[in-house]
A and B are shown apart, each in its own frame.
Chain A
Amino acid sequence: MGRYLQLLVLFFLFSCGKEGRKVAEAQEKIAFRGIDIPHKMVAGDSLALKFEVDGGSDLVLLLEKSFGPSLIKPTFVGDLAVFSLPPEMLAQSGMYHWQLRASSQLLLRGHFEVLPNIETTASIETYFGPRGIRAGGGDFSMLFMVPLDAYDNPLPDGTLLRVHQLMDKGLKTISVTTKNGYAFQNLYSSDKAGRMLVNAAVHNVRSKELTSVVSPSNSVDFSIAYQRVHDFADGNQVVLFKTSPLRDRYGNQVADGTLVNFSIVDQRGARLKTQGTTLAGVATGRILHPTEASEWKVTAYVTGESKSNTMDLDFKTAVGDFKVAFSQGHRRAEIGPILGFMGQLVPDGLLITLHIRDANGKLIDTKTTHTYKGKASFDLPKRFYPGANYQLIFDTADIKKEFQVALTDNGLE
């Protein structure tokens, strides 16, 4: 074991010693001088850094740029060490720092700058947004531009860009200059809804077409009207509310799909509602006629923005008096025919409610049915209503009829 350890220690000593000697040698011998070191150049050019060197055989050039460092080996022309930097290496504009090194020893350092190649201006990076704004001049989309040379370098500050804007059929050109490599322009909306088309140009290079939609601004108050077949409360026909075309204060029709609430207050103070969305500015809402005589007050809202006039709408009762006939010992009540406003049978589906109370007025049961061909009937089988006196109240379309009947034990089973 001991012997192994000795060997190991020896080996370490030996290897360390060798390294140290080499460095010491290098430090003593080298003499060097830079020749023609440039300070500025244009992207896309090649470059050769030349040094007169005496002695250093393991020379390298450490080049630091924003993509990271690279090590370059020289070629020797006599005692001239030439470091050739191909154009691909210098395509990116910005500061380049170099160090001439022999092993770990720094011999010389310096820097040069690569400028964007204006001659090769190739494209403009553009971003435009938001892509939808509101009419009225208070809202804007921002056009953001970065003109680039063929090597994707932003052009130097102060480059002049022309922004073309087509809006309201008028074409406008705005000039902007770049700063920090980019330029931006806020393009405000007009009063008229529509579409704003823009592009940007630098030198002879043009961007593609970009667009932002100018949508209408907030709506202003409007009016409503209604359409109905008749003014009877038959609970069957549909009444239609319609707004005047909704516009913003610049006269634009509001965006399609804008929601309008039609709020109805009936004679009892209940708030009924229906809603509609606009199409070409007009919103329609539908609701059924009431089943009893009613007085409606209708107002339409675009909540928070605008509202309509309040419109009165009255309905007359659609059902006249109706008959109730009893048969089979009062165990079947036949109602009707119920006649409508012009003597017709009422439409199917009119609700009829029957409240059954015992002789003391206590509610026993509530039954409902709907008219069919103008008629309806209730059965009061003795299974559930043993023979006794009952109070029957029939109610339809807010018309009530009350009967005191004695149910017998013969009749409906």
Chain B
Amino acid sequence: MIKETNVLLVTALFIGLAFHGSSIFFTLESTYDALIHLFFAEHYATSWFEPWDYRWYTGFTVQGYPPLVHQLIGLLSFVGGLKFGLFSAGLLAILLFVTGAYRFGLLMTGDKKVAGYTAILAVFSSTFIETLHIFGQLPSILALSVLMHSLTEIYLWLKLGRRRYLFTSLSLIAVMVTSHHVTPIFGMVFFIFPLIGMAVMDVSRDKVDSYRDLHFKVFWMSFRQLFWRIVSFGLLSLVLIVTCILPYWINSKKNPITQVPIPHGSRDNFLEVTSSGLVFFMIPWGILLFVIPYIFYRFYSKRYLFFGLSMTMLTVLGTGGTTPIPLMLLGETAFNILTLDRFTLWATIMALPIFGEFAYRMVEGDIKQGIQRRIGSVYHRLLGGFLAGGILFMVVFTMSLGYFRPSQPQKINMLPIVNFLNQDQHDHWRYLPLGFGDQMAWLSAQTKAMTVDGNYHSARRLPELTTRAIERLENSKFRGVEGIGSLQQFLTIPEKYNLKYIFSNDKFYDPLLYFCGWQRLQQLENGIMVWEKLNVPPLPAILPKDDVPKWSKIMWGVIPITTVLIAFFINIQLLWFRVLRPRKMPLAEYFRYKVPYAKFPGSVIVVSHIWALVVLLCLGFGLYTFYLNNASRRSPENVITAYYNALDFKEFETAHSFLDKENEVPIAQYMLEVSVTDGILSSYAKLDALSIEITDRTPTGAKAVVQTHWITPLERIDRTYLHDLVKREGDWFIMPSYLDTDIPPDQLFSDTATRFYNHGRRRITTQQTHHEDVLKQPLLEVLSAKLVRYKGQYAVIGELQNVDNLPADVVIKATLYNDDNKELANYDAKYHMKHKLMPMETTSFKINFEGIAWSKTKDTIPPTFDPDEFTPIELEEQPTRFNLQCAGNIANTDLYKGLGLQSLTIEGDHVSGELYNSGIQEVTIPLLLVSYYDEDRQLVWVDHTFVQEGVRVQRKQDFEYAFLKVSGLELIDNSLKNCFVNGLPNSSIAGKVVPNRITDHVGEQLQPIEGDGFGFIKFELNSYVGNPR
């Protein structure tokens, strides 16, 4: 017998490697996961046997993820670098996947041609494209491919009982286990159990004449016959699953995942969240959606019965939150930990052989004949064209998804950042990237410097992170208030984490950084802004780590690669012997169960057509509702929603098209007016929710009260807008509102100011900074400090002055103690102070004691996030005294003091006024710090408000503020005894620097007012300048 080359398989491999192999160079790096694997690979490449990595999450163990793929990439990186390793592993995955699909098809159908079709369809399957090119899940693909390869061997062992097949199957199982942990476990359930069923079924079939005679009794007898083979295989593979990655299991036991569930699109209701439906259902299923009746028809034939059951389970589980069934089947915990898209992946992979069979029968088999006979050959061609077109459409659509809706920010050139971290001992502190997307892993892979963030959330240890459902700090804005809240904790007390540098690729976070006391250091040549925080100690030389025994490290470093070598030897080597010394081989066992493809039942064709029609109708209906919701001028509500969406995405031209044509502002004018408004709302806010109330509706007009909720980096902002709407020729439009026509008096004017420059080190040296270049710390004086309780919250408030002749950056840390001097809590001042003080400038401050959100109430995490992200700390005992540590460091940036306060009108419980910008910098976000004083002009409380619009140069901006009721406030301790400045007692500085302090000055500048619990008010201004000149 001459062995024929399977042309279809070769074609599939050829196309697969050419198509996927060349496109991974453009897709893989911008996928979600690929760079994480690259980071792990880099870890193994530099320290193969040491599982501890300090670079993420203040240290984590890589034993939290099976190492094989990472180690492979790491090994290959010695040849041509990390990326070479990554792409080589990608090519290997493609190769294994296509051949695996072929062998799986061959096993299932026993027909080489059908298997060839399967391989070709596997190349073009949208689920594979998505997993590889959009998700970048290399380990998952590799493990799945190996699983498909192993199925044949397992089948042969079960069927024939030859020990050789037991070894080959076990060797492949071992490779699978060491490359991905979830695949073998669920693979057992969803692939191998049905395979066992099929093997038993085949043995039973041999005993009877036809499937018709195959009854349960026969099946049961065959099962008992094969029982020991099944059990031996099952037990041995269980042993392998446990031992091959034993350190992984031990680590999971020791460090159980305490992470609260992180929302994942695959758990959404796909009908509600259509984007998730698209990514996690429509794309993976792709064209398979149309042939579902055929797939189930075939899977529910007797031989495939168990696969049918498994397929049904997988399909249902893959629907996520659309139906309640997955939640019921998996239980709450598993449902929230697993990403359910993998079930859809497995379902679509399992369907491949049957789809291949369908394609074969459609192209050259009995379906073709059936259709030609019933309807005609032209229709058959049309239908074939439709299916082929559908496949092609899905391929192009899926591949282009990353192009039109990039999941990642633009590719960042990491070299300037790596250089920055390497120079001048910057890697002695931790850093934090913001707005890097998954590219943060690539940055981490290139530097020894450490970050508090990371990209493998199962490995987290800091409770600040595990208690929050955020993916990364880096993209916390996408998790709304909760994400921002978590980030704020890190930014407010960075010294706890030795966090000194922030690389910001997203200006959204800039105001937050500024108001938390960070300052801009420099812009790198790749456009990344470096922010730094003063007064952060460097990392200690010795960092803690969770060590594991030596045997565990050796197992982890040796076993995975060994499994590959063994598997290679057993499978490929023996195959080579067979090929090189060709003997006439008997046809493999499974060829015997080939089904003759004849007489395709007409009823299935009819059902398939009806089904396809239903699918098409659903798609059409979906598109129609999509259109209706987006027909923006149909109703007042629609036009307002569309207008605000356009504003949110800065599509000003679209926004302008919703304005009334008759009172129209020319587009050029509109663009000009919009472009000059700056501020927290127009530059740093994301529209979170919108509620529209239509009042005074008449046939031709309406008034709308629009409640908008914006997520900003600083806080959640609620704002109400009023709009007049008009209906013209059936369409609704918004009447343009009046814009401020105020113009400043001068076109050109001058301003003088003192500017400061800090050399840093004057002497260029690799040594520690010379003591002559260590700047003196500016002297500060605490004027008052007290511990108060207001509405159940403890806070330390007070006033502080920079009494030095140099501008100061001020950090204030308060610690609470009880009567026994037991430390209860400590925290830093966040927004409630001016962090940068000019000489003799004073600031009020307030330190809130923030706890780690929801750490105590893990099971009652609010389903929707509370607008007030503040979580007061839970104190075990009553604090009765406090300690205040203030540190000054010389500041030379962000010293803009050009804002003034004018036209103040106090009416009842609220005040309105205007901020006037007298300098030459545009203030992007003004902060109004409001201090409350009692009748004796003693400070009682400090509050703040962000003015939502910026103040342009020589212009004014109005603001309003409603006073609080502070009568219920309780003063617990009022003492300057434990206040320290730069480590020295405050009293020693106070007596020395301003010995004859005139204490009345503060009181004289206060605004008298009759309030609830207060008699005076002080306003202070802090201005964030977004683009300093």
Q: Which residues of A contact B (CB under 8 A)?
A: 127, 129-132, 134, 138-139, 210, 215-216, 218-219, 236-238, 254-259, 261, 263, 266, 268-279, 284-288, 290-291, 299, 301-307, 347-349, 368-372, 381, 383-384, 413
Q: Among residues 798 to 814 in chain B, which have CB atoms less than 8 Å away from a CB atom of chain A?
A: 801, 803-807
Q: CB within 8 A of B776: which of A132, A275, A349?
A: A132
Write out the residue numbers on chain A whose beta carbons fall within 8 Å of the beta carbon of B46: none
- Whether A279 lies near B1004 (C-beta < 8 A) is no
The distance in angstroms between the C-alpha atoms of A388 and B484, with both chains bound, is: 52
Among the stretches B409-417, B558-566, B623-631, B896-904, the one at the interface with A is B896-904
Write out the residue numbers on chain B whose beta carbons fall within 8 Å of the beta carbon of A370: 738, 740-742
Closest A residue, CB atoms, query B749: A238
Among the stretches B153-161, B241-249, B385-393, B990-998, the one at the interface with A is B990-998
Closest A residue, CB atoms, query B905: A270
Write out the residue numbers on chain A whose beta carbons fall within 8 Å of the beta carbon of B916: 274, 286-288
Given known pairs A257-B838, A303-B1002, A383-B701, the reply for A286 and B696 (CB within 8 Å) is: no
Given known pairs A271-B1005, A285-B918, the reply for A259 and B901 (CB within 8 Å) is: no
- Whether B753 lies near A279 (C-beta < 8 A) is yes
Write out the residue numbers on chain B whose beta carbons fall within 8 Å of the beta carbon of A381: 701
Write out the residue numbers on chain B whose beta carbons fall within 8 Å of the beta carbon of A384: 696, 701, 703, 724
Sample of 10 further A-B pairs with CB below 8 A, known A307-B1004, A348-B741: A132-B804, A138-B992, A257-B838, A257-B895, A259-B897, A271-B1019, A273-B1005, A275-B900, A279-B752, A384-B696
The distance in angstroms between the C-alpha atoms of A387 and B905, with both chains bound, is: 35
Q: Which residues of B contact A (CB under 8 A)?
A: 696, 698, 700-703, 724, 726, 738, 740-746, 752-754, 756, 771-772, 775-776, 783, 801, 803-807, 837-842, 895, 897, 900-906, 913, 916, 918, 954, 956, 992-994, 996-999, 1001-1002, 1004-1008, 1019
CB distance from B152 to the nearest CB of A (A): 54
Write out the residue numbers on chain A whose beta carbons fall within 8 Å of the beta carbon of B994: 218, 304-305
- Whether A132 lies near B805 (C-beta < 8 A) is yes
Pick 20 A–B contacts, CB within 8 A, sort by A: A130-B776, A134-B805, A216-B805, A236-B745, A257-B805, A257-B895, A258-B838, A259-B837, A259-B839, A273-B901, A273-B1019, A274-B901, A275-B900, A301-B1004, A302-B840, A303-B840, A304-B783, A304-B994, A383-B724, A384-B701
- Whether A210 lies near B772 (C-beta < 8 A) is yes
Q: CB within 8 A of B745: which of A138, A237, A272, A277?
A: A237
Write out the residue numbers on chain B whose beta carbons fall within 8 Å of the beta carbon of A268: 905
- Whether B703 lies near A349 (C-beta < 8 A) is no
Q: CB within 8 A of B897: which of A210, A275, A301?
A: A275
Write out the residue numbers on chain A whose beta carbons fall within 8 Å of the beta carbon of B1004: 263, 299, 301, 307
Closest B residue, CB atoms, query A238: B745
Q: Which of A139, A290, A301 has the most CB of B within 10 A?
A: A301
Given known pairs A259-B839, A277-B753, the reply for A301 and B1005 (CB within 8 Å) is: yes
The distance in angstroms between the C-alpha atoms of A277 and B918, with both chains bound, is: 13
The distance in angstroms between the C-alpha atoms of A278 and B805, with both chains bound, is: 11
- Whether B840 lies near A259 (C-beta < 8 A) is yes
Write out the residue numbers on chain B whose beta carbons fall within 8 Å of the beta carbon of A130: 776
Write out the residue numbers on chain A whose beta carbons fall within 8 Å of the beta carbon of B840: 219, 258-259, 302-305
CB distance from A135 to the nearest CB of B (A): 10
- Whether A349 lies near B741 (C-beta < 8 A) is yes
Q: CB within 8 A of A271: which of B801, B803, B1007?
A: B1007
- Whether B838 lies near A304 (C-beta < 8 A) is no
Closest B residue, CB atoms, query A255: B805
Write out the residue numbers on chain A whose beta carbons fall within 8 Å of the beta carbon of B903: 272, 290-291
Given known pairs A304-B999, A413-B700, the reply for A257 and B905 (CB within 8 Å) is: no
The distance in angstroms between the C-alpha atoms of A33 and B803, with both chains bound, is: 71
Q: Which of A132, A219, A285 has the most CB of B within 10 A?
A: A132
Write out the residue numbers on chain A whose beta carbons fall within 8 Å of the beta carbon of B783: 304
The distance in angstroms between the C-alpha atoms of A79 and B904, with both chains bound, is: 104
The distance in angstroms between the C-alpha atoms of A21 and B899, with both chains bound, is: 93
- Whether B742 lies near A348 (C-beta < 8 A) is yes
The distance in angstroms between the C-alpha atoms of A131 and B806, with both chains bound, is: 12
The distance in angstroms between the C-alpha atoms of A288 and B994, with both chains bound, is: 34
Closest A residue, CB atoms, query B900: A274
Write out the residue numbers on chain B whose beta carbons fall within 8 Å of the beta carbon of A254: 805, 839
- Whether A277 lies near B743 (C-beta < 8 A) is no
CB distance from A117 to the nearest CB of B (A): 27
CB distance from B698 to the nearest CB of A (A): 5
Q: CB within 8 A of A139: which of B740, B913, B992, B996?
A: B992
- Whether B754 lies near A256 (C-beta < 8 A) is yes
- Whether A383 lies near B700 (C-beta < 8 A) is yes
- Whether B997 lies near A304 (C-beta < 8 A) is yes
Closest A residue, CB atoms, query B701: A383
Closest B residue, CB atoms, query A278: B754
Closest B residue, CB atoms, query A132: B776
Write out the residue numbers on chain B whose beta carbons fall within 8 Å of the beta carbon of A258: 805, 838-840
- Whether B754 lies near A279 (C-beta < 8 A) is yes
Write out the residue numbers on chain B whose beta carbons fall within 8 Å of the beta carbon of A348: 741-743
Q: Which of A255, A273, A305, A371 has the most CB of B within 10 A?
A: A273
- Whether B740 lies near A304 (C-beta < 8 A) is no
The distance in angstroms between the C-alpha atoms of A286 and B751, with both chains bound, is: 10
- Whether B900 lies near A272 (C-beta < 8 A) is yes
The distance in angstroms between the C-alpha atoms of A132 and B741, with both chains bound, is: 50
Nearest 5 pairs between A and B by C-beta?
A349-B742, A274-B900, A383-B701, A255-B805, A286-B918
The distance in angstroms between the C-alpha atoms of A278 and B897, with both chains bound, is: 12
CB distance from B783 to the nearest CB of A (A): 8
Given known pairs A132-B805, A263-B1005, A301-B1001, the reply for A383 and B698 (CB within 8 Å) is: yes
The distance in angstroms between the C-alpha atoms of A306 and B1000, with both chains bound, is: 11
Write out the residue numbers on chain B whose beta carbons fall within 8 Å of the beta carbon of A286: 900, 916, 918
- Whether A272 lies near B904 (C-beta < 8 A) is yes
Q: Which of A256, A270, A303 has the most CB of B within 10 A?
A: A303
The distance in angstroms between the C-alpha atoms of A272 and B742, with both chains bound, is: 21
Closest A residue, CB atoms, query B1019: A273
Q: CB within 8 A of B801: which of A278, A285, A304, A371?
A: A304
Closest B residue, CB atoms, query A286: B918
- Whether A285 lies near B900 (C-beta < 8 A) is yes
- Whether A277 lies near B772 (C-beta < 8 A) is no
CB distance from A274 to the nearest CB of B (A): 3
- Whether B838 lies near A277 (C-beta < 8 A) is yes
The distance in angstroms between the C-alpha atoms of A304 and B995, with both chains bound, is: 10
Write out the residue numbers on chain B whose beta carbons fall within 8 Å of the beta carbon of A288: 902, 916, 956
CB distance from A23 to the nearest CB of B (A): 41
The distance in angstroms between the C-alpha atoms of A258 and B521, with both chains bound, is: 24
Given known pairs A131-B776, A301-B1001, the reply for A257 and B901 (CB within 8 Å) is: no
CB distance from A189 to the nearest CB of B (A): 12
Write out the residue numbers on chain A whose beta carbons fall within 8 Å of the beta carbon of B1006: 271
The distance in angstroms between the C-alpha atoms of A305 and B998, with both chains bound, is: 6
Closest B residue, CB atoms, query A263: B1005
CB distance from B531 to the nearest CB of A (A): 23
CB distance from A289 to the nearest CB of B (A): 9
Write out the residue numbers on chain A whose beta carbons fall within 8 Å of the beta carbon of B839: 254-255, 257-259
CB distance from A372 to the nearest CB of B (A): 5
CB distance from A346 to the nearest CB of B (A): 11
Given known pairs A270-B1007, A383-B700, the reply for A259 and B841 (CB within 8 Å) is: yes
- Whether B696 lies near A287 (C-beta < 8 A) is no
Write out the residue numbers on chain B whose beta carbons fall within 8 Å of the beta carbon of A273: 900-901, 1005, 1019
Write out the residue numbers on chain A whose beta carbons fall within 8 Å of the beta carbon of B1005: 261, 263, 271, 273, 301, 303
Write out the residue numbers on chain A whose beta carbons fall within 8 Å of the beta carbon of B726: 383
Write out the residue numbers on chain B whose beta carbons fall within 8 Å of the beta carbon of A210: 772
CB distance from B971 to the nearest CB of A (A): 23
The distance in angstroms between the C-alpha atoms of A7 and B362, with both chains bound, is: 86
- Whether B1001 lies near A307 (C-beta < 8 A) is yes
Q: CB within 8 A of B738: which of A132, A285, A306, A369?
A: A369
Write out the residue numbers on chain B whose beta carbons fall within 8 Å of the beta carbon of A290: 902-903
Closest A residue, CB atoms, query B839: A258
Q: Which of A219, A257, A261, A306 has the most CB of B within 10 A?
A: A257
Write out the residue numbers on chain A whose beta carbons fall within 8 Å of the beta carbon of B738: 368-370
